[in-house]
Amino acid sequence: MTGDKARSSTVDRLDVGIRADGYRLPDAARIGAVRLQVSDLARSLVYYTTVPGLRVLSQTGSMAVLGPQGSPVPLVELHERRGIRPVPRRGLLGLFHFAILLPDRESLARFVTHLAEVGANAGSADHAVSEALYLSDPDGLGIEVYADRPRSQWRAIDREIAMTTVPLDLRNLVRAAAGQPWTGMPAGTVIGHVHFHVGAIREAEAFYHSALGFDKMAWTYPGALFLSAGGYHHHVGTNIWAAGSPAATPDDARLLEWELVLPSAADVDAAAASAAASGYGVQEDGADRLLTDPWGITVRIVRLTHHEEGHE
């Protein structure tokens, strides 16, 4: 946005974004674990433990749970299904990437050095609110690893969070490592956001904003809509950059589901009730509630558990 009427400001959770007309997610909402379908569990475990530097928390048959070093909180579940197709270059409707948020810039700097040491290919970008690296796993599933800039440095223009995609100053970033080695994903690492290829922004807004209750945070970024709770830059990204592609199927490497973590059982029920009132089907799985968007992307709404407290 430009012009005399545009108002630029630092981001304050009280005056940024567009709230849904009805139900609104609590400020403490955040992203939990992501569950991925992969073609070869052994190969994927080598990748996820070597390149991102996650550790195996548990493994049973064709499934493994991974998390940061020194933390019991799961971030990624890998579910093997032999013979599935890798993600095509153009992408499928479904997962664009899941994003691993590191606790500080120093950790991201060490990760850059680590990628060079292991010979991993990665893209990079400066998004103004964050600095990010981009990877693809052996099945072509997208991964972002990033660190946020302090919220005091974020900017909003007429309530819209200002995000960019410009080249990342990798030399400047690497200096923040201060010569310290990468020792794997540190404690305090979380899933910061999920980003999806969708068929239409209007339908994505109806599901994630009007029904599920995320605030709209950035809505003029070309071909994309970014949403969050609590004034974060985005917990969910949606884009139409793969419009015309089919949706991921059970025969594809794909996101099986992602967790939306809410503070209480009452919050879980309220979010599910809002979605049901908007005409979306809600499935009960014990205390959890499952919803599926128009492109087959399933969100599991869960209550914050005791071992996850302090996870943020």
pLDDT tens-digit profile of 98-127?
Answer: 999 999 999 999 999 999 999 999 999 999
Write down the H helix ranges in 119-166: none
Structure tokens at 122: 């990665």
Please report the pLDDT score of residue 15 as a whole number: 78
Backbone angles phi, psi at 270, to 5 degrees: -65, -40
Banded pLDDT at 5 (limits 50, 70, 90): very low
Determine the Cα angle at 124 with ends 121 and 127, to 5°.
Answer: 160
Banded pLDDT at 64 (limits 50, 70, 90): very high
CA distance 187 to 210: 34
Please report the pLDDT score of residue 312 as a whole number: 42
Greatest Cα-to-Cα distance within the chain, rounded to the nearest angstrom: 61
CA distance 246 to 304: 34
Structure tokens at 298: 């399933």
- DSSP structure class, residue 152: G
Instruction: Report strand pairing: 130-136 vs 123-126.
Output: antiparallel
Q: What is the pLDDT of residues 166-201, one digit of tens each?
A: 999 999 999 999 999 999 999 999 999 999 999 999
Banded pLDDT at 12 (limits 50, 70, 90): low
Instruction: Report strand pairing: 215-218 vs 224-228.
Output: antiparallel
Supply the pTM of this predicted model.
0.94
